[in-house]
Structure 1
Amino acid sequence: MAGKGVTIREVAAHAGVSLGTASRVLSGNPATSPEARTRVSDAVVALGYRPNLQARSLRLTRTNAIGLLVSDVRNPFFADVAHAAEQAALGADYVTLLGNANENVDQQDRYIETFLNQRVDGVVLAPQGRGSGSLQALVDSGLPVVFVDRTVDGFDVPSVTTDSRSGMTEAVAHLAARGHHRIGFIGGPQAISTGRQRYDAFVETLPAHGLVVDDALITFGDFQEESGIRAAEQLLAAPTRPTALIAADNLMALGALAAIRSRGLRIGSDIEVVAFDDIEWLAHYDPPISVIAQDTDAVGRCAVELLMRVINGEEPESIVLTTRFIDRHG
């Protein structure tokens, strides 16, 4: 294997080092060991790697700007994360260029290309799907990258995520203790890591409370409000509708609440609802909605702190924050 088609990821794999180490060696960053420099240099020769000069210039020129790409700017969770990230970046003397992927891979890719062209010093992003061509190009460029909220299999990138299981376990235990045997679930897209993790956490928790996994009580949306309406209508139209419902994000929960009320059902007495993400309007809903809460301030702040460490030549470990259940029923 040789030629300009060889990527920096292949060089890193051949040398037996991380992608970040390979990138720093190739950019001349002194924060590398002699052994790492030798292994990467040998891999470059063996594979015939030709560096992307444009990408190299990105690493050598500081702009004191970072790119921040959220999944949906209309989602209060991502708005709060973006605000926390922006404030943390300002505290580190960086300005933030904000992009909205709109839960769409093509829109994500347009922003990634723009960030590369604008020569930002690094990127924090919530990746879409299972990894697009532009996402691979971004990582291969050697530009410092941190994933936030979501991860993508096969990408060696530090991330800030949350543990869905802790809060989900508490939520299911709460509903089971209140006598709910038919708990409906509106999951997110299974192509997205958070969608898969929240679904897995739900189905793996049920047996501990003597509950079976019933496919008739499970449906999926796309983390947006309209899909929450459709999913809830499907569940509520079933011959034996659920007596409780967990929605895997706040926008789908909002849609589910609208569908429930359109049928004349009473929240809390006819059906109990739990939403993933503690957003302000859920606490002020009538009646207030119980939630599985994430610390959005910590998510955004930690993502920028990780990115600053990558920019400075470090290889930080990923961070997993906890979730917790907040009971607002009683």
Structure 2
Amino acid sequence: MATIRDVARHAGVSISTVSLALNGTGPVSEETRARIEAAVAAVRYSPNLMAQNLKRGQSKLVGMVLGDAGNPFFGRLFGTIDRQISDNDHMLIVANLDSHPDREIRTLNLLKRHRVAGIIMTPLRNDPEYAAYLNEIDVPVVLVDQDVDGTELDFVTSDHHRGTEMLTEYLIRLGHRRIAYIGGQQTMWVATRRLEGFRAAMAEAGLPIEPELEIVADYSAELAYENVIRLMSAAERPTAILAANNYMAIGALQAVNDLGFRCPDDVSIAGIDVVPWSSIVMPRITTVDQPVEELARVASLWMMEHVRGEATSDGQRRRYIAEPKLVIGHSCAPPPK
């Protein structure tokens, strides 16, 4: 295996000059740099990146921690961030929490041991202990989608309150008054914002909040299915169901179909985020779509500013809140007479 000494000998320069040229850390003439690059190719030298990382104290790796890599929202987020980080001569290393909050700190500690240059993450926890841990972490972190109350970290998200508010207003304009809401645990920052948006729209329309129609299904299609079976089997059924993520919308639609009801003739269904296989799911579900690529670009930009030492140093966290978009499908109609 070729070494840096072989490159220096082939190029006719010192080992220190080769090191400066390869690391981009010192003045090397274009002619010398070209000779060194030719020598690297000739002797088939491959730099030991791990050794370089140890010397620099960090790597060209950026960590990304996803709450649930199987969800299309996170897949879209990863795809754009991966391209942006790669375009900045860094590589993304991805960890999937698979919806297990207890794995977060262990995952972050593992990324730190790999000396990543920074971490972009969609957290699952939101508690004081976790906030204290993040505030003391010694690598740059940018939060995406989910916030952690009490942290001082940069945060990129869309307006979750406005998203469910828009969907609820749309259902109310169609004439619905008995709307079931299926959401996540209120320990999660996003779940709280989305429930607040639903309640705000109902209050603005003068409609009562019925506790039995506010369901917690942990963003799970299976739990949404079970709860919609129960709701639609009751004597007084809701005329519309608002599911606070794409998986729960699919679970709700499956339950409605299995019970022999028709959507939207018997019950309307609306959801958040693009539904998996939306082009073949019938009827196409009305959703609020988050500008995922926009969120990813901002998060990547802020991360690379941290890595290059260009981020603001005034101690103020940055917040970027993007506007969601209402996407009308075929799953909503006026309530049955």
TM class by smaller structure: 0.7 to 0.9
CA distance in structure 2 between the partners assigned to 1:107 and 1:122 by the alignment? 18
2:208 maps to what in 1?
Answer: 212
Letter of the structure 1 residue corresponding to residue 107 of structure 2 = Y
CA distance in structure 1 between the partners assigned to 2:161 and 2:137 by the alignment? 34
Q: How does 1:6-85 map to 2 (within 5 A)?
A: 61-85=57-81
Q: How does 1:299-310 map to 2 (within 5 A)?
A: 299-310=295-306
CA distance in structure 2 between the partners assigned to 1:167 and 1:154 by the alignment? 24
Aligned pair 1:230/2:226, yes or no? yes
* Percent identical residues: 26
CA distance in structure 1 between the partners assigned to 2:276 and 2:248 by the alignment? 15
Give the 3-state SS of the residue equivalent to 2:282 in structure 1: coil
Aligned pair 1:200/2:196, yes or no? yes
CA distance in structure 2 between the partners assigned to 1:191 and 1:317 by the alignment? 23
CA distance in structure 2 between the partners assigned to 1:211 and 1:58 by the alignment? 61
Letter of the structure 2 residue corresponding to residue 87 of structure 1 = R
Q: Quick one: structure 1 residues 179 and 59, their matched pair in 2 at CA, closer, same or farther if it must change by over 3 Å? A: farther
2:324 maps to what in 1?
Answer: 323
| 1:230-283, Cα deviation, whole Å (9 max, x unpaired) | 232232233311111110111111111111111111111111111100235234
1:145 maps to what in 2?
Answer: 141
| 1:103-122, Cα deviation, whole Å (9 max, x unpaired) | 21222223112101111000
CA distance in structure 2 between the partners assigned to 1:127 and 1:155 by the alignment? 12
CA distance in structure 2 between the partners assigned to 1:102 and 1:177 by the alignment? 37
1:96 maps to what in 2?
Answer: 92
- Which structure's CA Rg is the greater one? 2
Give the drift of 1:195: 0.6
Q: Quick one: structure 1 residues 88 and 243, their matched pair in 2 at CA, closer, same or farther if it must change by over 3 Å? A: same
Give the 3-state SS of the residue equivalent to 1:279 in structure 2: coil
Give the drift of 1:177: 1.6
Q: Quick one: structure 1 residues 308 and 225, their matched pair in 2 at CA, closer, same or farther if it must change by over 3 Å? A: same
Q: 2:271 aligns with which of 267, 271, 275?
A: 275
CA distance in structure 2 between the partners assigned to 1:58 and 1:224 by the alignment? 42
CA distance in structure 1 between the partners assigned to 2:214 and 2:307 by the alignment? 43
2:250 maps to what in 1?
Answer: 254
Aligned pair 1:312/2:308, yes or no? yes
CA contact (8 A) 2:76 2:293 kept: yes
1:161 maps to what in 2?
Answer: 157
Quote the RMSD (CA, aligned, Å).
Answer: 2.1
| 1:187-239, Cα deviation, whole Å (9 max, x unpaired) | 11111111110001101111222321111111011112222212322322333
Give the 3-state SS of the residue equivalent to 1:165 in structure 2: helix
Give the 3-state SS of the residue equivalent to 1:281 in structure 2: coil
CA contact (8 A) 2:66 2:121 kept: yes
Q: List alignment gaps of at least 5 residues for structure 2.
A: 1-52
**Greater alpha carbon shift after TM alignment, 87-96 vs 105-114:** 105-114
CA distance in structure 2 between the partners assigned to 1:317 and 1:71 by the alignment? 22
Letter of the structure 1 residue corresponding to residue 321 of structure 2 = V
2:102 maps to what in 1?
Answer: 106
Q: How many residues align?
A: 274
Give the 3-state SS of the residue equivalent to 2:278 in structure 1: helix
CA distance in structure 1 between the partners assigned to 2:286 and 2:139 by the alignment? 40
Q: Quick one: structure 1 residues 60 and 240, their matched pair in 2 at CA, closer, same or farther if it must change by over 3 Å? A: farther
Give the drift of 1:167: 2.7
The TM-score with structure 2 as length reference comes to 0.76
CA contact (8 A) 1:277 1:292 kept: yes
Letter of the structure 1 residue corresponding to residue 246 of structure 2 = N
